[in-house]
Homo-oligomer: A and B are copies of this chain.
Amino acid sequence: MVIDAHAHLNAPEVFYAYKARLQSSGGHHRGDPKISDEALAAAAARNVAALDEVGTTMQLISPRPYQLMSSARPERVVHWWVEANNDLIRRSVDLHPDRLAGVAALPVCAGRPVEEALAELDRVAAMPQFVGVCLNPDPSEGAGTTPPLGGAYWYPLFERLVAHDLPALVHSAGCFNERETYSEHFITEESIAILTVLRSDTLADFPELKLIIAHGGGSVPYQIGRWQAERLMPSLGGSPGAERFEVSLRRLWFDTVLHNPASLRLLLETVGPDRCLFGTERPGSGSVADPRTGRHLDDIKPVIDAMPGLSEGEKQLVFEGNARKVFSRLPC
């Protein structure tokens, strides 16, 4: 069995026309996305076909991140849009309950208290279709004004996630900054998330909090030597007797969304196969064929299957076991 822990909603295109109306209206009218059952069924069928193509049993789907507009104003359009996304995911999961499971977005809005997202969190937690949430660590979408993930701002949300036993996929959304595309911003934000969480008391205060860092952990596994050194240096607040950085790192979870075999190997060696969840972001950033090989870059399963030094048990953890552990609400 292969569970793809990182994938996004395959909605009918007109769903995004609704978003355009919502955003253009200035928040004065909520409107209605009007996605018919037929249109949704067609989209969901395409999704399942894509799973079949690469041998995935089940996919955990969250809203398409770069469309989430968490810094839009007024905030109610963000709420309305997040709710519409979660509703569509719920309906999709209902169409294919054995192939899809939901990972809900949260309406954490730029410059607003995180508490304002809890009502929607409670709403999705009450629905069996959802097994986790997607957590955007930068609702300011590239403005640089979001309190870092390892900090008090986020505690009310962490507390509620633990209460609901919902894991969070840490994955940024849009980016409105000339310096970074949203795709680059994903990497930056994942790195910041890891480093600020591990420097903070977050995981001590919430030992049951389950955070999955998307895209193989941003830059951190590659730059790990830098952070190992920081941990050891007194001038930077470290000490030779502190918990080693690579041990701390293993308090988090990681997905395998790295479209390059050598990087995937570095990830698995650095954090261990028992902390990695199979994920493809498919269809998404890697859904293109390499002209040299004909292979899709996001067809990651064969890469893991062929990874030297990985036991069958370890592969099972990556493909299914870890996901079952983290996403405890997944149907058997």
Contact = CB atoms under 8 A, between A and B. Distances in A.
Interface in A222-240: 222-226, 228-230, 232-233, 235-238, 240
Given A17-B15, A74-B178, A177-B26, A222 B216 contact: yes
Chain A, interface size: which category? 35 or more
Given A142-B26, A174-B26, A229 B20 contact: no
Given A17-B16, A73-B176, A219 B229 contact: no
A286 B191 contact: no
Q: Which 4 A-B pairs have the closest CB atoms?
A: A225-B259, A219-B219, A225-B260, A222-B222
Contacts of A286: 225-226, 229
A75 to B, nearest CB: 11
Contacts of A216: 222-223
A225 B286 CA distance: 8
Nearest to A22: B20
B13 A17 contact: yes
B178 A147 contact: yes
B225 A222 contact: no
Contacts of A232: 288-291, 297
B221 A259 contact: no
Interface of A: 13-17, 19-21, 23-32, 66-67, 69, 73-74, 142-144, 146-148, 174-184, 187-188, 191-192, 195-196, 215-216, 218-219, 221-226, 228-230, 232-233, 235-238, 240-241, 258-260, 262-263, 266, 269-270, 285-291, 297-298
